[in-house]
């Protein structure tokens, strides 16, 4: 079996898949600690459904945008050559890549849901559930009405469950994922103390002059970015697992916020690596395999936590 | 003595010609060791950027399909759950009659073929030519 | 020097006023207790003063030399916090966030401050322990240490002793009194009027009747008499207390109370007549 793994590890797109997968798992776990402690775990699910809906809309709009590009090429020059060229470039880019639109839609929803922090207006699990399921249903309907794809259910299935998306990333997508993940990791590192303050006690942070609203906004945007990236790894429906399992497992065993954060990251990266390797070797879907490894890890950590709690008091 | 020399020459000639034949049909990308999912992913990567693989010889496993309406043979790659598929057209090295010379529909086949870029068709920009089928 | 001046404050939620036209001043070194019935708007007042809510009308003025990041706040604990995975040290350090501003990491100075405040509150031995494994009283002391990291001048405490047992409550009050003696201005919301009157220099009573003044003056008011236990605590004479009780007893006609007032006249259950 090791020789099989060796063979697969030599393949370039497998290497990219491992790198991107590890980075995405790392970022999700870091922000996952904050989300879980703020009791916002279900938002990962809600936002990922919005992302799915946005992808459907983008898929419908892309043929229209391609027509616009053709018109721009034929028609009169807008304003001047430079601006015309820029507009054509942007529209061409958007017609071929759905990620910018999906990022925008998901970020706006995240801001709407999370910016208020404790005082969010669209409060309550019912409101988030409405948005989440509505986006999912409308997205699927749009796809079935307007999609030109030859394998619609395959596309939907792969977006929802992420069977091989991580292995079929283009070079551009790989670079985008790597750079966004790096940015998220750096942001988390720099704002660690502020994220802690805002997560532990918003009222105190606000009263002592910390710009809580700004940090809530930052957290919302970062989470949206992570969710859109993670769709490539585990698919829309399973993103919550990447966010929740590492944090919950770490909290069973560690007592300090720093310990929980670091453990969460290590747990997530290890499970993602194992999951991707197992799925490559045994030909199982990547997303479900990673979640299965997460579950096993969580059970192991729960047992460790119980033993420690029993002995040390 | 004569018979011995003839025997030796025959053996040498055979091995040399086999050697040459092997060199001529040397495969650039042998994907037969990969499982279904990785084969599928690799072929997707190839079709995303076919120019860099143009003219290379592939040896791949897949499922055979034939379109009677278009008269074209295809090899299908699918991922582990079968939810995503890639169908690539292949043209046999020698002209074959359907259905006698072809494998049964939806059977597992291995083809050794050259990749050809087909820029006229945006849906399927590459296909296989000079294909040898094993089943 | 006035640290905080509120004039004509009207507070409430979504247009509904809970308190109207409230005016009071807090000077440096004061110990102000905010008392009143449940739902009378004490927490709302504190949150408005801290800037967590907007007043419906009126003005809040801070004295010179007092910035938002120099106010220490001890809020009521949330469910989330009781279960939070964080060490005592991490929590106390987070009190320095206000003074850290845009800087990502805490300076050595701030870490020293956190250590000192943990000493002051007597929680240094818990520095590496998890917050959720501490008792209620210990948790409150940790949060108080955190508040002290944010300020050297002004502390706002929202019911710091709620849910604590009597001995721990007394310890907490002593701790706060000690801080007050060290020069910190204290503004505290409390349900415990007896303790409030004992420790505070000023009382702000909100609710149906509003009173703001010194603790002495408060003791003389009608409100205080309703809430406070007996003549010793209220500072009244036994005779006055007898008269007061007779009036009440006439209204209610409780013979038992009469007998007690006649026979003993010591710390009774004045407040419970209501």
pLDDT digits (tens, 9 = 90+) for C168-200: 999 999 999 999 999 889 999 988 888 888 888
Structure tokens at B22: 């092997």
**Is a pLDDT exceeding 50 seen at residue C268?**
no
- Whose CA is closest to C147, among C210, C77, C86? C77
- The reply to whether B22 and B35 lie within a common domain is no
Q: What is the mean pLDDT of residues C97-102?
A: 82
- Domain assignment of residue A313, yes or no: no
The domain spanning residue B54 has which CATH number? 2.40.50.140
CB contact under 8 A, A193 and C97: yes
CB contact under 8 A, A167 and B84: no
- Whose CA is closest to A84, among A95, A69, A96? A69
CB of B118 within 8 Å of a chain A CB? The answer is no
Q: Which of A14, A163, A282 sits opposite B79 (nearest CB)?
A: A163
Chain A residues touching residue B84 (CB < 8 angstroms):
151, 154-155, 157-158, 163-164
Neighbours of chain B (3+ CB pairs under 8 A): A
B132 backbone φψ class: left, alpha, beta (φ>0; ψ -120 to 50): beta
Tens of pLDDT along C206-218?
887 788 888 888 8
Highest mean pLDDT pick, A184-193, B69-78, B83-92, C227-236: A184-193
10 Å CB burial of residue A146 (0-12, 13-18, 19+) is middle
CB contact under 8 A, A257 and C90: yes
- Least Cα separation, residue A92 to chain C (angstroms): 40
CB contact under 8 A, B37 and A168: no
CB of A255 within 8 Å of a chain C CB? The answer is yes
Three-state DSSP state, A229: helix
- The reply to whether B4 and B70 lie within a common domain is no
Chain B residues touching residue A14 (CB < 8 angstroms):
38
Tens of pLDDT along A268-308?
999 999 999 998 888 888 888 999 999 999 999 999 999 98
- State residue C269's pLDDT score: 44
CB contact under 8 A, B37 and A281: no
Nearest CA in chain A to C72: A208
CB of A285 within 8 Å of a chain B CB? The answer is yes
Chain A residues touching residue B85 (CB < 8 angstroms):
151, 154
CB contact under 8 A, A200 and C84: yes
Least confident of A71-80, A201-210, A266-275: A71-80
- Whether the CB-CB separation of A172 and A96 falls below 8 Å is answered with no
CB of A206 within 8 Å of a chain C CB? The answer is yes
- The reply to whether B22 and B42 lie within a common domain is no
Three-state DSSP state, B59: strand
Domain that holds residue B17: 1-27
A62-68 contacts at long range (C-beta below 8 A, 24 or more positions apart): A62/A94, A62/A95, A62/A96, A62/A98, A63/A95, A63/A148, A65/A91, A65/A94, A65/A95, A66/A95, A68/A95
- Whether the CB-CB separation of B113 and B128 falls below 8 Å is answered with yes
Domain that holds residue A215: 2-307
Pairwise CA distance, residues C128 & C114, whole Å:
13
Going by beta carbons, is chain C in contact with chain A, meaning 3 or more pairs sit under 8 Å apart? yes
Q: Give the mean pLDDT of chain C.
A: 81
CB of B37 within 8 Å of a chain A CB? The answer is yes
Q: Which of A13, A281, A285 sits opposite B81 (nearest CB)?
A: A285
CB of A192 within 8 Å of a chain C CB? The answer is yes
Give the residue from A18, A70, A154, A287 with the most B CB atoms within 10 Å of its CB, the best one to mutate: A154
Chain B residues touching residue A95 (CB < 8 angstroms):
none
Write out the H or E segment, with its range, that includes residue C16: strand C16-27
CB contact under 8 A, B33 and A158: no
- Whether the CB-CB separation of A312 and C130 falls below 8 Å is answered with no
- State residue C32's pLDDT score: 92
Q: What is the mean pLDDT of residues A211-219?
A: 87
- The reply to whether B21 and B37 lie within a common domain is no
- The reply to whether B16 and B77 lie within a common domain is no
CB of B35 within 8 Å of a chain A CB? The answer is yes
- Domain assignment of residue A68, yes or no: yes
CB contact under 8 A, A39 and C81: no
- The reply to whether B9 and B51 lie within a common domain is no
Give the residue from A116, A194, A204, A257 with the most C CB atoms within 10 Å of its CB, the best one to mutate: A204
Pairwise CA distance, residues B77 & B86, whole Å:
5
CB contact under 8 A, C104 and A192: yes
Chain C residues touching residue A256 (CB < 8 angstroms):
85-87, 90, 128, 130
- The reply to whether B15 and B74 lie within a common domain is no
Pairwise CA distance, residues A280 & B42, whole Å:
12
Pairwise CA distance, residues C262 & C18, whole Å:
41
Nearest CA in chain B to A153: B83
- The reply to whether B116 and B93 lie within a common domain is yes
- State residue C273's pLDDT score: 41
Please report which confidence band the pLDDT of residue C145 belongs to, taking 50, 70 and 90 as the band edges.
very high
Query: Comparing C166 with A92, which gets the higher pLDDT?
Result: C166
Query: Comparing A240 with A265, which gets the higher pLDDT?
Result: A265
Q: Scanning the structure block, which residue is given the tokens 């509003």?
A: C210
Pairwise CA distance, residues A280 & A298, whole Å:
22
**Is a pLDDT exceeding 50 seen at residue C274?**
no
- State residue A311's pLDDT score: 58
CB contact under 8 A, A11 and B85: no
- Whether the CB-CB separation of A226 and A214 falls below 8 Å is answered with no
- The reply to whether B66 and B102 lie within a common domain is yes
- Whose CA is closest to C99, among C107, C89, C90, C87? C107
The domain spanning residue A68 has which CATH number? 1.10.3470.10
Tens of pLDDT along C63-87?
876 776 678 899 988 877 878 899 9
Task: Enumerate residues 131 to 190 of chain A having a beta carbon within 8 A of any beta carbon in chain B.
Answer: 150-151, 153-155, 157-158, 161, 163-164, 167-168, 170-171
Tens of pLDDT along B69-81?
888 888 899 887 7
Percentages helix, strand, coil for chain B (3-state, rounded to 5) are 30, 35, 35
CB contact under 8 A, A196 and C86: yes
Domain count for chain A, please give it. Answer: 1
Nearest CA in chain A to C73: A204
Domain count for chain B, please give it. Answer: 2
CB contact under 8 A, A193 and C106: yes
Q: What is the mean pLDDT of residues A15-34?
A: 93
Phi/psi of residue A60, nearest 5 degrees: -75, -40
Percent of chain A with pLDDT over 90: 36
CB contact under 8 A, A196 and C94: yes
- State residue B135's pLDDT score: 80
- State residue C270's pLDDT score: 42
Q: What is the pTM of this model?
A: 0.80
Cβ count within 10 A of residue C129: 17
- Whether the CB-CB separation of C42 and C36 falls below 8 Å is answered with yes
- The reply to whether B48 and B20 lie within a common domain is no
**Is a pLDDT exceeding 70 seen at residue C103?**
yes
CB of A283 within 8 Å of a chain B CB? The answer is yes
- Least Cα separation, residue B100 to chain A (angstroms): 29
- State residue A313's pLDDT score: 41
CB contact under 8 A, A256 and C86: yes
| ipTM score | 0.81
- The reply to whether B20 and B46 lie within a common domain is no
Tens of pLDDT along B14-40?
555 444 444 445 778 888 888 888 899
């Amino acid at each position: 079996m090791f020789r099989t793994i060796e063979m697969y590890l030599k393949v370039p797109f497998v290497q990219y898949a491992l790198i991107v997968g590890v980075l995405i798992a790392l970022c999700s776990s870091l922000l996952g600690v904050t989300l879980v402690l703020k009791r916002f775990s279900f938002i990962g699910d809600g936002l990922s459904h919005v992302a799915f809906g946005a992808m459907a809309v983008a898929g419908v709009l892309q043929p229209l945008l391609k027509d616009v590009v053709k018109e721009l090429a034929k028609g009169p020059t807008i304003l001047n050559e430079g601006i015309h060229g820029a507009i054509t470039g942007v529209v061409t880019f958007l017609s071929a890549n759905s990620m910018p639109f999906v990022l925008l839609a998901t970020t706006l929803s995240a801001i709407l849901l999370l910016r208020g922090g404790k005082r969010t207006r669209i409060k309550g699990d019912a409101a988030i559930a409405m948005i989440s399921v509505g986006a999912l249903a409308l997205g699927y309907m749009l796809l079935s009405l307007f999609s030109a794809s030859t394998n619609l259910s395959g596309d939907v299935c792969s977006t929802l469950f992420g069977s091989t998306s991580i292995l079929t990333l283009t070079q551009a997508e790989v670079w985008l994922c790597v750079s966004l993940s790096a940015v998220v990791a750096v942001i988390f590192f720099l704002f660690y103390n502020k994220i802690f303050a805002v997560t532990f006690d918003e009222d105190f942070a606000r009263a002592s002059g910390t710009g809580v609203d700004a940090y809530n906004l930052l957290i919302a945007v970062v989470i949206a970015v992570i969710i859109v990236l993670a769709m490539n790894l585990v698919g829309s429906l399973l993103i919550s697992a990447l966010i929740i399992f590492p944090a919950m497992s770490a909290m069973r065993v560690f007592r300090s916020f720093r310990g929980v954060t670091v453990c969460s990251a290590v747990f997530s990266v290890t499970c993602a690596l194992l999951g991707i390797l197992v799925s490559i070797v045994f030909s199982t879907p990547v997303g479900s395999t990673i979640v299965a490894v997460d579950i096993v890890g969580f059970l192991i950590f729960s047992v460790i936590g119980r033993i420690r709690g029993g002995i040390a008091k | 003595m004569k018979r011995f020399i003839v025997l030796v020459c025959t053996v040498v000639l055979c091995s040399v010609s086999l050697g040459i034949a092997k060199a001529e049909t040397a495969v650039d990308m042998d994907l037969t060791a990969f499982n279904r999912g990785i084969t599928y992913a690799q072929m997707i990567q190839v079709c995303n950027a076919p120019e860099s693989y143009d003219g290379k010889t592939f040896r791949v496993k897949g499922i055979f399909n034939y379109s009677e309406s278009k008269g074209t043979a295809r090899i299908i790659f699918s991922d582990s759950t079968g939810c995503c598929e890639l169908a690539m057209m292949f043209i046999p090295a020698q002209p074959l009659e359907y259905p006698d010379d072809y494998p049964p529909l939806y059977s597992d086949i291995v083809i050794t073929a050259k990749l050809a870029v087909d820029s006229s068709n945006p849906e399927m920009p590459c296909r296989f030519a000079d294909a040898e089928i094993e089943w | 020097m006035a640290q905080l001046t509120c004039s004509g404050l009207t507070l409430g939620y979504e247009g509904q006023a809970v308190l109207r036209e409230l005016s009071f001043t807090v000077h440096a070194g004061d110990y102000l207790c905010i008392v009143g019935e449940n739902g009378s708007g004490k927490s709302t007042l504190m949150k408005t003063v801290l800037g967590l809510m907007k007043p419906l009308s009126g003005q809040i003025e801070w004295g010179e030399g007092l910035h938002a990041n120099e106010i220490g706040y001890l809020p009521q604990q949330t469910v989330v916090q009781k279960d939070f995975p964080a060490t005592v040290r991490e929590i106390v350090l987070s009190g320095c966030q206000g003074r850290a501003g845009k800087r990502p990491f805490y300076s050595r100075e701030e870490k020293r401050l956190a250590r000192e405040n943990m000493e002051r509150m007597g929680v240094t031995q818990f520095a590496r322990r998890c917050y959720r494994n501490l008792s209620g009283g210990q948790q409150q002391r940790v949060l108080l240490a955190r508040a002290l990291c944010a300020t050297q001048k002004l502390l706002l405490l929202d019911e710091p002793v709620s849910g604590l047992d009597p001995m721990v409550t007394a310890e907490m009050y002593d701790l706060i009194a000690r801080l007050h003696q060290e020069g910190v201005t204290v503004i505290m919301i409390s349900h415990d009027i007896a303790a409030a009157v004992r420790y505070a220099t000023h009382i702000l009573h909100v609710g149906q009747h509003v009173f703001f003044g010194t603790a002495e003056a408060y003791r003389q008011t009608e409100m205080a008499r309703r809430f406070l236990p007996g003549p010793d605590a209220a500072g009244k004479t036994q005779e006055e207390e007898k008269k007061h009780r007779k009036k009440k007893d006439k209204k209610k006609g409780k013979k038992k109370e009469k007998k007690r007032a006649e026979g003993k006249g010591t710390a009774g259950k004045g407040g419970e007549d209501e």
